[in-house]
Amino acid sequence: MLLPIPQHITVISPHLDDAVFSCGCLLAESRDALVITVFAGVPDPEVATPAWDRATGFSSGYQAVLARRDEDTESMRRLGAKGTWLSFWDRQYGRGYQTTDLVPALKTILEQRGGTVLMPMGLFHPDHLLTSNACLAVREAFLLAQQNKEDGANAPPMNWFVYEEAIYRQLPGLVLTRLTAWKEAGLKMCAVRFPTSSAKKKAYAVGAYRSQLPLFGAAKRADMGSPERYWQLDTE
């Protein structure tokens, strides 16, 4: 199904790059685009440096996240989008969270924004799965509030979409497994497309994440440039 490009979108990104890698074309073409990055918190300087950060040339997670925030700011500028960072730590820094930890912060922003919400499918990485489940919990809370006329029933209307995360969507069976689980849980979804034509602008924005790109192989980088894939929730 081909849909018009939403002009007021909020993309929920697990990490400082996922939204651009997965939705960069759509972000480039929306007039009012906001990216909420969930695991963008800065770890304490004394936290042990994980292998990924060492491989990207950083001496600490503290230093790495500050640099990635700068990269994210530049990427948003290149797309003409806005970004906001939540304070949760990336899983690699040793702090664990539950779905319920993420829900209040996401709910507060989304009930102020309304419009079109794009959430990750939740593929492969535990932070992605946690973010996806938290988004579903927020959506369910809004639906229940509207049905029961409780606090939050006057939140602006929202259209919910799911994006397949670049890099992870190419792993065999992951997308199908997630879709099957959602279908069994009663979620109704429909594959959709948006008429985007901003591949060059997306590539320019992807290039802002220069500290990590060298660690991605050719297949992963190619997947970032492949057509973006979306699913609409609440469709028959």
Of 86, 186, 209, the closest CA to residue 136 belongs to 186
The confidence score (pLDDT) of residue 187 equals 92
The confidence score (pLDDT) of residue 34 equals 98
Distances (CA, A) of 149 to 105, 139, 141, 172: 22, 15, 12, 43
Q: What is the pLDDT of residues 168-182, one digit of tens each?
A: 999 999 999 999 999
Q: What is the pLDDT of residues 25-42, one digit of tens each?
A: 999 999 999 999 999 999
The confidence score (pLDDT) of residue 153 equals 55
The confidence score (pLDDT) of residue 149 equals 67
User: What distance in Å separates the CA atoms of residue 153 and residue 111, rounded to the nearest whole number?
Assistant: 10
> Which stretches of the chain drop beneath a pLDDT of 70?
149-155, 235-236
Strand order in the sheet with 189-192: 82-85, 32-37, 8-13, 115-120, 158-163, 230-233, 189-192
Full set of structural domains in the chain with CATH:
8-233 (3.40.50.10320)
The confidence score (pLDDT) of residue 234 equals 80
223 and 170 Cβ atoms separated by less than 8 Å = yes
Tell the residue number behind the tokens 């994210």, with chain if given.
72
Q: How many CA atoms lie within 13 A of 104 on its CB side?
A: 6
116 and 8 Cβ atoms separated by less than 8 Å = yes
The confidence score (pLDDT) of residue 235 equals 54
